[in-house]
């Protein structure tokens, strides 16, 4: 399975944020979407998630490079994890997961709620607490867990490690790695070291276009400085 973006353009009035984005993302790979704050990473995700209208272009799934058949992207095909999670704070973690599973008929859980909590390393004494009392990191884990249960084809992770402590950030990285098989994962960040550590492929959002970067080149200090210079040179969106 591949996720194909074909000549995607997004304008805000006279300002062109995404300029002829043309790229193919492959299954079972984690792609690091690298760009400075304000480069247009969230705009890119919002276009794919249909939260905003695109100016022109298209995106779709296909079975492989040799396939000419396109598969439309449905809302249930996309999981979207944002850096600042929004949860119903009047519910407990257990109540929220149970509610989520009940209202999504298409979801077929492959483990119990407590097994899901165990998988996300959420302590037992947190599970029946109100979500309003959860830490930022644990709310992020709950948000990730919803996407794991829904099992989308495409996972969009918009700087999900921002503001997390070191332990929870490492736990989240482990979960993200464990979930990459059978799906396409795009992980946005403005931190080069995080992208290199977590991701299989690096893609630079530079002046509204996606540019692949070979990870082997990142061992070259001169090349790394070139990437950092490109990030600094980008206009804010």
Tens of pLDDT along 91-124?
999 999 999 999 988 888 889 999 999 999 999 9
pTM over 0.85: yes
- Domains belonging to the chain, first-starting first, are 2-233 (3.40.50.300)
Partners of residue 60 on adjacent β-strands = 4
pLDDT on residue 233: 60
- Percent of the chain clearing pLDDT 90 (strictly above): 62
- Strands in 29-34's sheet, in edge-to-edge order, are 78-81, 154-158, 184-189, 29-34, 201-206, 209-213
- Strands in 56-62's sheet, in edge-to-edge order, are 15-26, 2-12, 56-62
Average pLDDT of the chain to the nearest whole number: 88
pLDDT on residue 226: 64
Q: What is the pLDDT of residues 138-162, one digit of tens each?
A: 999 999 999 999 999 999 999 888 7
pLDDT on residue 234: 53
237 falls in which pLDDT band (50, 70, 90)?
very low
């Amino acid at each position: 399975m591949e996720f194909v973006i074909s000549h995607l353009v997004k304008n805000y009035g006279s300002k062109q944020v995404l300029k002829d984005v043309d790229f193919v993302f492959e299954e079972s790979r984690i792609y690091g979407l690298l760009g400075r704050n304000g480069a247009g990473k969230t705009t890119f995700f919002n276009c794919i998630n249909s939260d905003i209208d695109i100016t022109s272009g298209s995106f779709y799934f296909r079975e492989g490079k040799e396939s000419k058949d396109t598969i439309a992207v449905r809302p249930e095909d996309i999981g979207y994890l944002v850096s600042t999670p929004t949860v119903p704070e009047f519910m407990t973690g257990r109540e929220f997961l149970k509610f989520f599973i009940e209202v999504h008929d298409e979801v077929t859980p492959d483990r119990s709620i407590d097994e899901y909590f165990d998988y996300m390393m959420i302590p037992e004494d947190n599970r029946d607490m109100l979500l309003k009392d959860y830490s930022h990191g644990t709310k992020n884990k709950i948000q990730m867990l919803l996407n794991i249960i829904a099992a989308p084809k495409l996972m969009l992770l918009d700087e999900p490690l921002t503001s997390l402590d070191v332990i929870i950030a490492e736990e989240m990285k482990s979960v993200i790695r464990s979930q990459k098989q059978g799906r396409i994962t795009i992980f946005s960040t403005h931190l080069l070291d995080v992208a290199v550590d977590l991701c299989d492929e690096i893609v630079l959002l530079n002046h509204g276009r996606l540019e692949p970067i070979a990870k082997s080149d990142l061992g070259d200090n001169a090349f790394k400085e070139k990437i950092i210079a490109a990030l600094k040179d980008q206009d804010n969106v």
